[in-house]
Amino acid sequence: MNGKGSLSATNLAGYHHYNCDLFIYNTYNGVEDPRTPLHPLVYESTSTTLDGAQFKRGLDWEAHLLSWLDEENLLLTVPSYPLKGEDLVENILADERNHFFVAGISFVPPQEHFDKIYRKAGLEPVKFGLAKPDLVEITRLEDGVMWKVIDAKASRAVKTSHHVQIYFYTLCLNYLLPHSFFRASNAAAVWLPPEDGFDTNPPSFDDLKTVEISLLSFPLDDFLFRRLPAILSLPRKDVFWHYNALCHGCPFSKDCQQKAVEQGEIGSMSNISIPEAKLLRNLLQIWQDTGVSHPRGETDIEDLALLLEDRKGMQRIGSSYPVTLRKAKRILALPPRTRKASKATAASPILQAARTEKIQIIPRRNFTCPKTEDIAAVLSLLLDPSAPSGASSIVSFSISTFTAVPLRGKIPRTVHGDRADLIPSLAYIIDSILTLNCSLQKPPRTQFYVFSSAEHSALQTHFIDAALNSSYPTQDIRVCIGALSQGASLLQTTFQPILLSGVLLEFLIKGRRRKRDFQAILERMNPTESTEGTFEELKQRVKEKIQRLQNDDYRKAAQEQRQDELGQLPRIVVLKRQIEKSLALPIPGFWNLAECAAVLLSSSRLREAQCPSDEEIYTMFANGNSPSDLLEQRNKSIYAVLNNLRSRISSANDFLLINEAKPLTSTFMDICREEHLRKLFYMQQFEILTRLSELWQSRIDGCPEAPILQYHSTQQGSKRLEHSFILLSGNLDMTASDKDRTFFDYLLVEDRDCDDFESDAHIPVEALFDDLAVSGLVFPLNRYTKSRWQSQNSIVQKELLLADIRDISVEGLRTKVTIQTWGDATFKFSEGSTYRISPRLIDFNISKILSALFELDVQHELENASVPYIQIIRNPKSFNQETVSPNTRKMLEKAAGDMQSLFRMLDGLDVEAAKPLVLKASQNRATRHILSNRLSVIWGPPGMNFCN
């Protein structure tokens, strides 16, 4: 089939989205197989309902933006037919406004100018089709007009594909618009929708993500005028392609899937990304280039199998390219090192699944999928790609509970609903399980499941949105977050004793208290506890609770509770992630739940093997019908897949699934009552939880992307020993300002080579590290804070060091990293040994912020005080409505002058303490402003203690 023979900016963006040479090649030159439709003419016939919903979101955002610009009198719409440069100039000059945006522009690219560039480089010219930028911003200057290309994108963030489009449009307009009067702004922008959704928020100029053209010109000129013509002129067999998850949505993906299997390509294996595929091809090339004659297979996967059977070849590669071989083994799920005494060659389950077309077990310990539970709660969410915000993307849900054994007590079997019902429904199920826990001598073990990471992310986003939305019952929100947000209980056990003991001691000391004051305090300390009793009884209970909070035994119990949470099962297990860890499926490229269920459950003839696809469920919703039955069927398939996963793993090795589910608990630090302070209190916790979740996810898998360092030498630094390492893989960076500070903000762990998967006696050391226990401490620790380190897991203390990067330098072809360490680890640095380095959480402010919010809340509720902070949140203009009298202002300014004079006089008398108190000119102005205004905002350079 003939190709388009030209490329649009959308095609160029598609190339960068799919990261595929064959996509752009087929689009331009056509395809070999006439059965394969040609992009982009086939969108209407081959696109799915889900694709259409995603496309609709983009159209809705663009329409919303144009409507807003029109309302603001900032829009000029030009005729939709292709304009020449002079036509565009005429339209712009006819508008007398100083600032506006032009929409509807389309033009033919300056092909003759591009052809000259290609011919000068000795390359075949590439033809380009009609260009249609969304907007061109026009700003009138004294001597002309400045213009800037803007594209509206409904994405969450700016992508490389967006930059390609705006750069191409800018490049074209640079040739089309006369330079004598029109000046390019040297920048272009992508206009993103408001983070909280464009259905409830107007567009904002703050969401214009501008990029300098100079930053784009070098890489994109190289692409447009060198790499692109080179790709298009290649023989088809030499064009790079790899079938992988990015191919979803590509019009050529079905053809590539078939070819990947028929030709034995690396893409015939599951879940191999493009960088991983390139590394495996590089490994094969290294093997062929070793100078030793090797047998050649007919396909890539046959070559990989022959390489793995060549033990001497693997040893040679390991000696010369240890990092490449190590990464390849991780990709292929091979043990890092085989036993020296073993004569058998290592077999890759990933490779074997593709070669044999049978499911293979990955013999790797799994810490994040429970081997069993008494109650499994499976949650399916229907996400709408056309939703104007992430928080509103959940449009329907189904929750199903499955019990392994009969249980006394009533737990709902299935609950359906739309987005508004999700929090109350979850709270109802959680409360039912918690009630059952209290009624049984041995509480049932409970685990929640979703299938995909997208569902998990949407659920956590929904929790945050619900916590900040006053329309949801507070108790329901508290129960859901406490039970299903990973780490919520850690925050509670870490910070609540500090907050309560400090603020409540001050509460007891201050003045006379009423009975209801003590009831309010007891309710904050434990919302489920009774607050009945006499005044003296309530007062005594508060005192006892404060004493218990300050007791060492209580602190120790809290530390043990945190350690029980670290390195254990997540509150919500993402099943797809667990399948990828433990099973190699004979499905090329990538797979979804329907495909997974069909493969895993094919022999069982269960109805669950016929799992409805996401497309079927969304189409049902889009047609105005309830998707509840399909979502319930999906839940049953998920549970059947879970049990099949366990059965296959346990039949191969009963010790691969390590953890069991735990009884459900719901603990969340919710001690503020004032609406605005409560939201701020929530947000501070969510921010920490988000950062911790990212760290935990990487650590439980052994920090696979962590930089690897090879020890070189040790020398005495100015204050401590400094260890030099060679960076073998990964990236490390440090700012110049970091050289003046020692945060010890990294974890350093020996990166051992295991003989086999069985030798992994415990989970990765980093997964046991308790960030919160030491996140606000200054290292090296002193005798007062050392006990906090000693509360860490014993394995952490023995096998982990905190590291501070002191310098990064390039020596020849190697990167040298200089590190200081702190800790009690027993391992010794030896030349050539390798270590992995990963970040830890540092936050010196969270306890201060939470304490301040709690103190303000107590002050507001119990003392009936007018708290300025709350006042400015409720009514930011209120401080302007009250003015200081002229006499008072003069008196305060005189007091400020007298104070400054006093400190200067004392400084002149050599009083040492007075010198730091003499205000600088800027500080003196700030002081006068503070004294003469009810509200002042003082700011200074970050980290300079200006406001202290």
DSSP string, 775-830: TTPPSSP-TTTHHHHHTS-HHHHHHEEEEEEEEEEEETTEEEEEEEEES-------
- Tell me if residue 947 falls in helix, strand or coil: coil
Cα–Cα dist 459/437, whole Å: 25
Q: Are both 449 and 512 inside the same structural domain?
A: no
Last residue of a domain, one of 844, 869, 893: 844
pLDDT at 553 over 70: no
Indicate the helix (H) or strand (E) that contains 254: helix 253-262
Q: Are 409 and 664 in contact, with CB atoms under 8 Å apart? A: no
Residue with tokens 């190699």: 584
Confidence class of residue 463 from pLDDT cuts 50, 70 and 90? confident
Q: What is the pLDDT of residue 402?
A: 94
For β-strands 187-191 and 375-383, DSSP reports them as unpaired
Are 403 and 304 in a shared domain? no
Cα-based distances in Å from 429 to 382, 459, 467, 828, 921? 19, 16, 19, 51, 62
Q: In the predicted model, is pLDDT for residue 109 greater than 80?
A: yes
Give me the pLDDT at residue 440, please: 86
Average pLDDT over residues 782-803: 88
Average of pLDDT values for 370-397?
88
Is the model more confident about 569 or about 223?
223
pLDDT at 850: 83
Two tokens, residue 641: 């897949």
- Mean pLDDT along residues 394-400: 94
pLDDT tens digits for 132-142? 999 999 999 88
Residue 1 lies in a domain: no
Q: What does the pLDDT look like over 712-754, one tens digit per residue? A: 999 998 888 899 999 988 888 876 555 567 789 999 999 875 4
Would you say the C-alpha torsion 239, 243, 244, 248 has a positive or negative sign?
positive
| Residue 614 located in a structural domain | yes
Residue 758 has a pLDDT of 44
Q: What is the pLDDT of residue 859?
A: 78
Instruction: Please determine, for residue 121, whether its predicted confidence score (pLDDT) is greater than 70.
Output: yes
Q: What is the mean pLDDT of residues 398-405?
A: 91
- 72/160 same-domain check: yes
One-letter identity of residue 738: D
8 domain-assigned: no
Task: Specify whether 78 is located in the same domain as 217.
Answer: yes
Average pLDDT value for the chain: 84
Q: How buried is 157 (Cβ within 10 angstroms: 0-12 exposed, 13-18 middle, 19+ buried)? A: exposed
User: Where does 384-513 have alpha helices with state H?
Assistant: 422-439, 453-467, 474-484, 488-509
**Cα–Cα distance for residue pair 162/189, rounded to 1 Å:** 9
pLDDT in tens, 822-840: 998 888 888 888 899 999 9
Residue 525 and residue 396 share a domain: no
Q: Is residue 576 part of a domain?
A: no
What is the predicted pLDDT for the residue at 594?
93
Mean per-residue pLDDT for 174-178?
A: 89
CA pair distance 914, 907, nearest whole angstrom: 5
pLDDT tens-place string over residues 934-945: 666 655 444 444
Higher pLDDT, 606 or 817: 817
pLDDT at residue 45 tops 80: no
pLDDT at 390: 64
Contact 820, 723 (CB under 8 A): yes
Higher-pLDDT residue of 814, 346: 814
Sign of CA dihedral 544, 545, 551, 553: positive
User: Is the pTM of the predicted complex or chain greater than 0.95?
Assistant: no
> What is residue 612's predicted lDDT score, i.e. its pLDDT?
93
Q: Are 198 and 43 in contact (CB under 8 A)?
A: no
Two tokens, residue 396? 């329907």
Tell whether 713 and 833 lie within a shared domain: yes
Residue 354 has pLDDT above 90, yes or no: yes
**How large is the average pLDDT for residues 761-773?**
81
pLDDT tens for each residue of 587-636: 999 999 999 999 999 876 677 778 999 999 999 999 999 999 999 999 99
- pLDDT of 181 reads 83
467 vs 560 pLDDT, higher one: 467
Task: Tell me the residue range of the domain where 888 lies.
Answer: 883-932
- pLDDT classification of 283: cutoffs 50, 70, 90: very high
Banded model confidence at residue 911, pLDDT cuts 50, 70, 90 = confident
What number is the average pLDDT over the span 445-468? 90
Model pLDDT, residue 740: 61
- The yes-or-no verdict on residue 927 having pLDDT over 60 is yes
708 and 716 in contact (C-beta within 8 Å)?
A: no
Residue type for position 657: L
Q: Give the model's pLDDT for residue 738.
A: 55
Phi, psi of 480 (to 5 degrees): -65, -45
Q: Does residue 226 sit in the same domain as residue 329?
A: no
In angstroms, what CA-CA distances link 771 with 596, 792, 838, 841? 37, 9, 12, 6
pLDDT at 477 (0 to 100):
86
Residue 479 shares a structural domain with residue 500: no
Confidence of residue 932 (pLDDT cuts 50, 70, 90): low
Separation between Cα atoms, residue 854 and residue 671, nearest integer Å: 7
- At residue 948, the pLDDT reads 41
* Dihedral (Cα; 418, 420, 422, 425), 10-degree rounding: -100
**pLDDT attached to residue 751:** 84
Q: Which residues contact 933 (CB under 8 A, 6 or more apart)?
A: 879, 884
Strand partners, 722: 715
Residue 200 falls inside a structural domain: yes
Q: What value does the mean pLDDT take over residues 160-179?
A: 92
Mean pLDDT value of segment 844-856: 83
* SS3 state at 75: strand
Contacts of 836 (CB under 8 A, 6+ apart): 703, 706, 707, 708, 709, 748, 749, 751
Q: Taking residues 26-54, what's their average pLDDT?
A: 63
Does the pLDDT value for residue 651 go beyond 70?
A: yes
Tokens of 3: 């190709």
* 787 in the same domain as 717: yes
The helix/strand count (H/E) of the chain reads as 34, 21
Check residue 443 and report its DSSP letter: P
Q: Is residue 628 part of a domain?
A: yes
pLDDT above 70 for 472: yes
Q: What digits encode the pLDDT tens for the residues 521-537?
A: 777 777 667 778 888 88
Task: Calculate mean pLDDT across residues 40-69.
Answer: 76
Phi, psi of 715 (to 5 degrees): -140, 160
Q: Per the structure block, which two tokens stand in for 744? A: 């010890």
Tell whether 354 and 389 lie within a shared domain. no
pLDDT at residue 507 above 70?
Answer: no
Quickly state the pLDDT bin for 812 (edges 50, 70, 90): confident
Q: pLDDT tier at 755 (50, 70, 90 boundaries)?
A: very low
Residue 944 forms part of a structural domain:
no
pLDDT at site 81: 83
> 889-905: per-residue pLDDT in tens?
777 777 777 877 887 88
pLDDT value of position 554? 60
Q: How many domains does the chain have?
A: 6
Q: Is residue 369 part of a domain?
A: no
Mean pLDDT, range 398-421, rounded to an integer: 87
Strands 583-584 and 834-839: unpaired
Q: Where are the beta strands (DSSP E) in 22-158?
A: 75-77, 99-103, 135-141, 144-152
Strand-pairing partners, residue 803, are: 746, 821
Q: What pLDDT sits at residue 943?
A: 42
Same domain, 599 and 453: yes
pLDDT score recorded for residue 879: 65
Which residue, among 176, 169, 101, has the nearest Cα to 137 in the 3D structure? 101
In terms of domains, do 290 and 217 share one?
no
Share of the chain above pLDDT 90, in %: 40
SS (H, E, C) 343-403: CCCCCCHHHHHHHHCCCEECCCCECCCCCCCCEEEEEEEEECCCCCCHHHCEEEEEEEEEE
